[in-house]
Amino acid sequence: DAGVIQSPRHEVTEMGQEVTLRCKPISGHNSLFWYRQTMMRGLELLIYFNNNVPIDDSGMPEDRFSAKMPNASFSTLKIQPSEPRDSAVYFCASSRGTDSPLHFGNGTRLTVT
């Protein structure tokens, strides 16, 4: 079991640039979650997918953020344009579905200067 794989591990970009974060969930898991972690706000759910369909995107901060899941083994979170306040660690997690625990990737640390 390779676990949830995220890339890149670190991303440093300038304000205004587009940022794309990638996630490969655990094979066989049909739910995928994007979280953001900051000191101020802790772990915040941004969006989650069930069977590749977005179910709840109420946590997406604003229109600059978008997420896609084109197939069961890949998801992206895009920020365009990025701003310094987007600096955080972004985690992807997957689970087998309802009532199943989440398994997290190691995160992408994003710094926007």
Where do contacts with another protein occur on this chain (CB under 8 A)? Answer: 4, 31, 33, 42-43, 45, 48, 50, 55-56, 58, 91, 93, 95, 97-107
Which CB sits closer to another protein, 4 or 112?
4
* Shortest distance (Å) from residue 81 CB to another protein: 27
Nearer to another protein among residue 52 and residue 81 (C-beta):
52
Please, what's the b/e burial string for 68-81 (b: 16 or more CB within 10 A of its CB; e: otherwise)? ebeebeebebebee
CB nearer to another protein: give 70 or 101: 101
**Shortest distance, position 63 Cβ to another protein, whole Å:** 19
- CA dihedral angle for residue 47, residue 48, residue 53, residue 57, rounded to 10 degrees: -30
Closer to another protein by CB, 81 or 109: give it: 109
